Amino acid sequence: MFASISSAVLFGAEGHPVSVEVHVDKGLPAFSVVGLPDESVREARDRARAAVMSSGVSWPSQRITVSLAPSHGRKTGSGLDLAIAVGVLVASGNIPPESVEQLAFIGELGLDGSLRAVPGVAPMAGVLGESDLVVPIACAVEARLVALGRTRLIADLAELIAVLNGNAPWPEHQPDPAAPDPEPALDIADVRGQVVARGALEIAAAGAHHLLLVGPPGSGKTMLASRLRGLLPSLTRERALEVTMVYSAAGAGLPPSGLVRRPPFRSPHHTCSSAGLIGGGSQTVRPGEVSLAHCGVLFLDEIAEFGPKVLNGLREPLEEGSIQVNRSGMHTSLPAEFLLVAAMNPCPCGGGAPGACRCGDAALNRYVQRLSGPLLDRFDLRVNVDRPDVDDLLDNSAGESSAVVAERVARARDLALLRQGVVNSALGPNALDQFAPLEPSARLLLRHEMEHDRLSGRGYHRIRRVARTIADLRPVYPELVGEEDVALALRLRTSIGRALQIGRAA
């Protein structure tokens, strides 16, 4: 007998519908899967057989052929287990075919018949049309977020067999107690002193300018960077859905409401591999840190310690805002539009107190060169962070809270979007004269810097974008970008430690 069961597979952060066709026929007992299954799908046979037998039904001692349609495109993951088991049960006469007609199935089977969560249920549920979707209890939030049909939660295969045979109603499982709310964002009021760096964070948030923090260990670079997230506005529903799909595909846990509404903050360690940072992998295509940071912040602490090849991989997402993946004839695109914040010591020895550095110029040069010119050039803001003074640490008066700063950031962002449709960092060179016109004195200052070789052509455009953001953050926003705005933008790009001044003209 024959059965056709609806299911889906995950590729990158996209779901693809799959029809699991099962044929059970007389012949020597055998089990074969066709339609480009990978190893994890082939193992489904063992899991499905054990699960069926644990549910009190005998496994057919016949020839079983499973075909995964469409036949092109590699199928990966254990999410097809449930559909394969149900297909065998229908084709062997243990479940009536009409009971599965309007249903789709996603889930991994345990040997005892229990149903387990798989990554990517949200993007997979989104491609299954109006079928009712049968998923493990743990996938309730993800499935309900996007599924058009009803979501049926099932604890194990025996329960499902009883329902499909009409011996029991659909169970009313309650989803597991929701994951705890994400921690509240850290408040910038906790940072003592660091006026320049705090200002740079605000500008970075308002204009989406990439930020490099340079300072000795213990100067609070990480403390500052981790507070950037609290300054960014919540995601729009459309953006939140994009981020949620990536989180679901990565198996990275969703908030209780299902939607990831806060901008993500990711800080991979410098030992992170290329696949870990950029995504990919040889078998399953997994979103990397750059995609998990989509619409949020990617923080690379000790950026000079990351492998050069790993850092080189940042070029594509920084330019395109996405990662293109090709595997066995399939193509997908993983979103990766993030605000890059990096931190590094001023030199290999860590620097520290003025005059304490023992590094020679050659060592310094090598250290800076680990950050290739094109990558260094991406940072519109390069800020020196010094260890806070004792006075600052003892000062009990808190600075502005994140809520206050975030309000200014949101206003400046709205302003930019209304004026030009994009954040300031995305303004093209030709759009600058229209949307960021300069006062004559500001123009003179920039010309002066270029004539003295302190500013390159690329740097010129970057300074103008940052200056636009600085002007937008003023209480009354001026149409013309002023000399003070340009002067501050210049200082925020060049006032970094000795090491990085080697490349200050960039």
The site for Zn ion (CB under 5 A) is made up of: 347, 349, 357, 359
Beta carbons of 348 and 329 less than 8 angstroms apart:
no
**Shortest separation between residue 346's beta carbon and Zn ion, angstroms:** 7
Of 359 and 436, nearer to Zn ion (C-beta) is 359
**Shortest separation between residue 304's beta carbon and Zn ion, angstroms:** 12
**Shortest separation between residue 356's beta carbon and Zn ion, angstroms:** 8
**Shortest separation between residue 454's beta carbon and Zn ion, angstroms:** 24
Q: Residue 158 to residues 62, 72, 115, 136: CA-CA distances in angstroms?
A: 22, 33, 10, 13
Of 226 and 384, nearer to Zn ion (C-beta) is 384
Amino acid at 136: P
**Shortest separation between residue 491's beta carbon and Zn ion, angstroms:** 23
CA distance 125 to 122: 5
Q: How many other CB atoms sit within 10 Å of the CB of residue 248?
A: 31
**Shortest separation between residue 359's beta carbon and Zn ion, angstroms:** 3
* Of 147, 148, 131, 144, residue with least CA distance to 178: 144
Of 325 and 357, nearer to Zn ion (C-beta) is 357
**Shortest separation between residue 349's beta carbon and Zn ion, angstroms:** 3
φ, ψ for residue 148 (rounded to 5)?
A: -85, -35
Structure tokens that stand for 264 in this block? 């993500």
CA distance 124 to 77: 12
Of 360 and 478, nearer to Zn ion (C-beta) is 360
Q: How many other CB atoms sit within 10 Å of the CB of residue 360?
A: 11
DSSP labels, 96-132: -GGGGTTEEE--EEPTTSBEE--TTHHHHHTTSTTSE
Of 134 and 368, nearer to Zn ion (C-beta) is 368
**H/E stretch holding 32:** strand 30-34
Q: Residue 238 to residues 127, 243, 261, 282, 316: CA-CA distances in angstroms?
A: 17, 9, 10, 30, 23
Of 349 and 410, nearer to Zn ion (C-beta) is 349
**Preceding omega of 70 cis (within 30 degrees of 0):** yes
**Shortest separation between residue 368's beta carbon and Zn ion, angstroms:** 12
Residue with tokens 């009883």: 162
**Shortest separation between residue 357's beta carbon and Zn ion, angstroms:** 3
Of 155 and 349, nearer to Zn ion (C-beta) is 349
Of 385 and 412, nearer to Zn ion (C-beta) is 385
Of 349 and 431, nearer to Zn ion (C-beta) is 349
Question: Alpha helices, DSSP H only, in 138-181?
Answer: 140-146, 157-164
SS3 assignment, position 479: coil
SS3 assignment, position 17: strand
**Shortest separation between residue 373's beta carbon and Zn ion, angstroms:** 21
Beta carbons of 500 and 462 less than 8 angstroms apart:
no
Of 212 and 359, nearer to Zn ion (C-beta) is 359
* Of 333, 337, 336, 360, residue with least CA distance to 349: 360
CA distance 247 to 123: 10
